[in-house]
């Protein structure tokens, strides 16, 4: 689902204070890079990245290719800087409590 102009504006504001999360260099799109970017997007939702050694329209084309590869929205491309957004996935947290197989659980604990 595409972002509304208002959502993009808010994400651009948040992106102003972000540090670069990753940089895409001469190696271009590799599986390792995409795995790293996926991890950042899962954790942070909004990621700022930089492209090295690319000219004008090539940056926008690469930003589009990257966003499609990681199923994210390209919020903004300014110079060599790209801002990507993907709604975070809900990660199930383990229930707190004792694990039945852990020491100290069950009969005989403290004997």
What are the tens digits of pLDDT across the range 77-94? 998 999 999 997 665 555
Question: Class of the 5-85 domain?
Answer: alpha beta
Q: How far lies 18's CA from each of 3, 13, 22, 107, in Å?
A: 20, 10, 11, 51
Bridge partners of 22, per DSSP, are 49
Residue 73, φ and ψ in degrees, nearest 5 = -100, 130
What are the tens digits of pLDDT across the range 1-12? 689 999 999 999
Domain range summary for the chain, segments of one domain joined by + = 5-85
**The whole model's pTM is what?**
0.74
């Amino acid at each position: 689902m595409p972002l509304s102009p208002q959502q993009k504006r808010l994400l651009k504001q948040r992106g102003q204070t972000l540090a670069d999360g990753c940089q895409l260099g001469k190696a271009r799109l590799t599986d390792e890079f995409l795995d790293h970017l996926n991890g950042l997007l899962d954790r942070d939702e909004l990621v700022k990245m930089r492209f090295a050694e690319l000219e004008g329209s090539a940056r926008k084309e690469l930003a589009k290719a990257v966003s499609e590869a990681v199923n994210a929205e390209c919020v903004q491309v300014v110079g060599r800087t790209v801002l990507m957004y993907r709604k975070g996935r809900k990660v199930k947290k383990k229930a707190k409590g004792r694990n039945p197989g852990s020491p100290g659980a069950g009969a005989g604990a403290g004997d």
